[in-house]
Amino acid sequence: MSTAVELTRFKVRPDREEEMLAARPGMLADFRADREGFLGARLVRLPGDEWLDVVEWRSAADFAASRAKGANLPGIAAFFDTIAELVSAEEGVVADAGL
């Protein structure tokens, strides 16, 4: 089974960045508690009020099941609520895990 990677680029208004960062631990806790196959996530700040969320899943099926749940828990909903615009969403498979 290949590790699936979710790449979500989004915008957050500058006046909501602190709120988004404060909501992040709650979102991650809810993912750990409720999302089968969630392996971890990294949040990357990009230029121009954009962010990239890199989330790893045990499989594409686990990622699809998570996506179907949406913002079903308060921590996830609080984080998603700070997003002003979804720029792009892609899915891939880890080809090389070396750093």
What mean pLDDT do residues 69-77 have?
Answer: 97
What mean pLDDT do residues 49-61 have?
Answer: 96
Domain 4-91 has CATH 3.30.470.20: no
Helix (H) or strand (E) holding 32: helix 17-34
Q: For 27-38, what is each residue's pLDDT tens digit? A: 999 999 999 999
Q: What is the dihedral of CA 87, 32, 37, 21, to 10 degrees?
A: 20
Q: For 1-24, what is each residue's pLDDT tens digit? A: 689 999 999 999 999 999 999 999
Residue 52 zone, left/alpha/beta (φ > 0; ψ -120 to 50; rest): beta
Kindly report the pTM of this predicted structure.
0.91
pLDDT score for 88 = 97
> 3-class DSSP state for residue 81?
helix
